[in-house]
Amino acid sequence: MIKSKIDKVTSFEKRFEKINTVIFESSEVASKAAAAEIATLIKKKQKAKEMCVLGLATGSTPKRLYAELVRLHKEENLSFKNVIAFNLDEYYPMEPDAIQSYVRFMKELLFNHVDIEPENYHIPDGTLEKKDIADYCKEYEAKIDALGGIDLQILGIGGNGHIGFNESGSLPNSKTRLVTLDHITRVAASKDFQGLYNTPKTAITLGIKQIMQAKQVILMAWGEGKSSIIKASVEGPITEQVPASYLQEHPNSVFILDNGSSSKLTRVSTPWIVEKVEWNEKMIKKAVVGLALRLEKPVLMLTEADYIENGMSDLLTEVGDAYDINIRIFNKLQHTITGWPGGKPNADDSNRPERANPAKKRVLIFSPHPDDDIISMGGTFMRLQNQGHEVHVAYQTSGNIAVADDEALRFSDFVIDYNRSFGLDNRKSIEIYKKATEFIKNKKTSEIDIEEVRNIKGLIRRSEARATSYYVGLTDEQIHFNDLPFYETGTIEKNPPGEEDIKITMDLIEKIKPHQIYAAGDLADPHGTHKVCLDIIFEALKRLKTKSYMKDCWLWLYRGAWQEWDIEDIEMAVPMSPSQVLAKRYGIFKHQSQKDGVVFQGSDSREFWQRAEDRNKETATKYDELGLAHYAAMEAFVRYHF
């Protein structure tokens, strides 16, 4: 399946792409294609009565791949009896039963669910004495060599281009070894270790040389967060600063991507340079906006020479002269700007992003975590409330894992003092406090918070979310805590969404019967919660689609602290004045547990209010650069048609 798609890559694309690259609509579809490739190889080897040697990766990227392989085993009788697996890497030091251990990861996601022989899977040992690691690594490679090498190597890619834990600076002849992890890699991994301080500084990794000797290599990448490094790896020069670029010299390698991770490749970002395109409205807007930003010119200042010199002469031929195209796109951009996100009453709405009627709308804002509403669309949230709409907010998850342990103890201690101060019975509170203190004091990185600690952390986030909603002007009847069950595992790794999650969401939509729904479309969230929450909303809406009130319901997607919509995709831009920017900042400050050192900061060291402010200002700046009105900040939305 992958092979047939590769054959369709044009010679024009190959001018830019130095590695075979296949783009799928989603990571789910892509993972199934990769699993089918592995299954075909395993069966081929079985038929020849040979062992199939697989090189396997860990991390979030291959999870769906392993789920599909498990399904193929259970439902289609794919046997792993002839499979020998070698994993790429392991943190060091690392106990095999720790939550973050790749031994545990591989067993829980694959090995425990298929019929591979236990002696046939190999994962670097994170418990070795440091003096023994060099000899161990030689033996690890010798085992692979004795089997004739790896038949198929699965890879992910790090934000700095690392493959395995071969960080920037790794040479092509590097062998299996103990490495020091790049700061970027540690920051990305810190979400699994309750912060950077607890994240290992070293790891054992298969070397570049062994990876390049694999007979076939499949590198997978998902999401817009990987788009820049994918472009550098596929289209850039071969360099030790981007180890994945070495795969340009591999005779049988392929990058399997989804729409997000491929978004900066030339054939995706500027397809008219690669091949003849259909100049529809979406493509014209993308091309013109991109050209204006690249040339640092307002849209109305673009000339025919600009179009011709940048590979867009076909647009002039098919659509018209530069002046008319400029006016057309300028007007489209202008029409996305509105100070009335709920629609302007008694106004012509033919060129407005939202309907004028009904003048007073029922609005439902879904917030995956307890602060996404104010961080991502706080200005719009306040404006909808101030303009008289009936605004409801639904906090989809408790967000309890994002509260530091000392915050939980501080609030528990406050309850004890509160009870003591007012003469209330304190026995149960003291008992809980002692239990929580004892647990946290002796807590190991492999341990999940006990129920009492999780509850305390959840209550902290709930009180902060309620404080924000009060600040905006909502009443208790307009604040909804869904506490979706999929989230409540106590770990970063969540359960798959289930029927109860969907039912809770459907019941709330049925109760409110909204004219507008706002949901987080920020799929770059590194923890994956946003994606799951959005999938639950999509499924709920799919099931409710035939309800009479749904014909009047519009779904708007916002993005959060991690990224913003591209200008050409924005369908509603809500401007903010300097005072509104400050009001939003103060709303974010209500979430005190998320200030001054967030537990899961991601790779961005700025606090969430700073990220949101900078992002909103950047959007406004881009509109200004395109020749439109200059605002202090803007929040952006894309309408989703369901």
- Positions marked catalytic: 167
What would the two tokens of residue 333 be? 């951009």
CA distances (Å), origin 285, targets 31, 291, 333: 32, 10, 9
**CA geometry: angle 224, 227, 228, nearest 5 deg:** 130
Residues paired with residue 155 on neighbouring β-strands, in sequence order: 219
- Distance in angstroms (rounded) separating the CA atoms of residues 82 and 116: 8
The answer to whether 177 and 204 are in contact (CB under 8 A) is yes
- Distance in angstroms (rounded) separating the CA atoms of residues 71 and 114: 9
Which residues are CB-neighbours of 438 under 8 A, at least 6 positions away?
none
Number of Cβ atoms within 10 Å of the Cβ of 22: 21
The answer to whether 56 and 156 are in contact (CB under 8 A) is no
What would the two tokens of residue 279 be? 């100049």
Which residues are CB-neighbours of 33 under 8 A, at least 6 positions away?
1, 2, 5, 22, 24, 256
| Secondary structure class of 519 (helix, strand, coil) | strand
| Secondary structure class of 473 (helix, strand, coil) | coil
Q: What are phi and psi of 574, to 5 degrees?
A: -100, 110
Which residues are CB-neighbours of 435 under 8 A, at least 6 positions away?
450, 452
> What is the secondary structure of 239-291 as a DSSP string?
BTTBGGGGGGG-TTEEEEE-TTTTTTSHHHHSHHHHS-----HHHHHHHHHHH
Residues paired with residue 160 on neighbouring β-strands, in sequence order: none
Total residue count of the chain as it appears in this document: 642
